[in-house]
Amino acid sequence: MALKAVVKADFAAGNRLAAAGDYAGAIAVFDRCLAIDARDWQALANRANAHLQLGDSARALDDYLAAAALNPASLNIKSNLAVLLKELGELELASGLLQEVLAADPDHVDAWSNLGIVRQHQLHYQEAIACLLKAIELGGATAARCNNLGNVCTSALLLDDAVSVLQGGLELAPDDANLQFSLSIALLLAGRYAEAWPLYEARWRSILQARHDGPRWRGEALGRRTLLLWSEQGLGDSLQMARFLPRIRAEHPDAELLLACPATFHRLFAQFDGVKLLEADAAPAYDCQLPLMSLPGVLGVTLGNLPTKAYLQSRAGLAPNLPDSPRLKVGVVWESGRWGVGIADAWRQHKSVPPALFADICRVPGVDFIALQPGAAPAELQGLVKQPAIADFADTAALVEEMDLVICVDTAILHLAGAMGKPVWALLRAESAPFFLADAPSAPWYPSVRLWRQPLPGAWQPVVKGLIAALRQQPAF
């Protein structure tokens, strides 16, 4: 076979492998093409696509840039490069590339879709919706396009629209896990729990990988069997779902209950009698298992029967080293963890209040501000907050117990203080979060938590201003 025919056959084989989801295999085939012709821009572009699917941003970027240099007129390369730039958090660069594509070809469907996603990450939801509607107008409705549009509508809290769009997508692809999961989030925000829980299980086919695959517990009588419950997502989720442990213990008195969760919870969760605590990655013997976030669905939880009494206490004997002061003690959390780099960290940044702005809260006179998050405070908060040592959540709970008020962003401390029944002022993004509903003044799962919502996406300034005014009105003043 002539060399040209070999390259053509390999190129076609690489495309078939990529279409089948075998991206590593596709890369190996495109490598062969490029070993023969290093200037094969199509093989470079397609290898870049495969690298991007595998999350190898560095190699994808190298290939996209090389392909673009060989064929600077290719609009598809620019559009795909913009997707990578978005993943790297370079939203302005991604937007500029996509606008170049659309200036050259106003009917480029993928560019409209990609620009819509970029606009979503830029918090420009109405523009994002317009872009995604344009993509559907030009290319027709697909499961992916409906999912993208539905997610933006959810972020904009246009929940009726989100549900309608996502249900429309499921009419096209009834088993699409991304659509099912996205619809569950919109339904949770709308408080439609009974509809949401079955769809929420699609997370295991879309965004998460299960650590245990044995028989699932479905709420039936356990008798003397062993049930393994295990943490699956963030720290706050484990704290939130811990409320159900006493109920399960009481309803299944003869069962052995195991809870696999991060070690930072073990001293705190030791207060749950009859629950054996294991490391998060433990692999014990069990008869049935269930991830923690599936408990509400199994237990039939709705807003009408949601248990809201305080269920966590500070462990006896833990006395935080705080100054004896008659002043108001306010625990503070300004940052929502660290999630990585690029767009993966963008949502954390959106949930966090910039330290320079949060510092305005900590300048209110007559208050002792105590940091409830571990680690050194940023320069903007140095000297404004006290920083006691924190080793785990038992230490944090002991501190929370001493507080008159907790002021925090949407993070695990919110769930801890709410679970303890402490007064909490939570600073919440305009987009809300699945378990805080779209416009409720307090947290449905934690009645002691007052929600301070951004009036517009990204607008922390008015939230902080209003909170400071309310803080000055507290009885201690």
Q: What is the pLDDT of residues 172-226, one digit of tens each?
A: 999 999 999 999 999 999 999 999 999 999 999 999 999 999 999 999 999 999 9
Rounded to an integer, what distance in angstroms lies between the CA atom of residue 102 and that of residue 112? 8
List domains and CATH numbers for the chain. Answer: 141-209 (1.25.40), 226-298 (no CATH), 328-472 (3.40.50.2000)
Beta sheet of 275-278, edge-to-edge order: 275-278, 256-260, 226-230, 288-291
Cα–Cα distance measured from residue 255 to residue 257, given in angstroms and rounded to the nearest whole number:
6
Distances from the Cα of 289 to the Cα of 20, 41, 298, angstroms: 32, 50, 12
- pTM for the whole structure: 0.93
Q: Which residues, other chains included, contact 17 with Cβ-Cβ below 8 Å and sequence gap of 6+?
A: 23, 25, 26, 29
Spatial distance between the Cα atoms of 280 and 429, rounded to a whole number of angstroms: 30
* CA–CA dist 233, 286 (Å, integer): 21
Sheet containing strand 424-428, strands side by side: 367-371, 328-333, 405-409, 424-428, 446-453, 442-443
pLDDT at 315: 80
| pLDDT in the model for residue 2 | 59
Given a cut of 70, the residues of the chain with pLDDT beneath it are 1-3, 6, 317-319, 338-340, 476-477
Report which of 274, 153, 261, 160 is spatially closest to residue 211, judged by C-alpha positions.
Answer: 261
Helices marked H in 71-156: 75-87, 91-104, 109-121, 125-139, 143-155
Neighbours of 164 (CB within 10 A): 15
- pLDDT of the residue at 1: 47
The total of other beta-carbon atoms located within 10 Å of residue 262's CB is 14
Looking at residue 98, its amino acid is L
322 exposure class (CB count in 10 Å sphere: 0-12, 13-18, 19+): middle
Longest Cα pair distance anywhere in the chain, in angstroms? 89
Model pLDDT for residues 87-107, shown as the tens digit of each residue: 999 999 999 999 999 999 999
pLDDT digit string (tens) for 322-336? 877 889 999 999 998
Give me 2's structure tokens. Answer: 């002539």
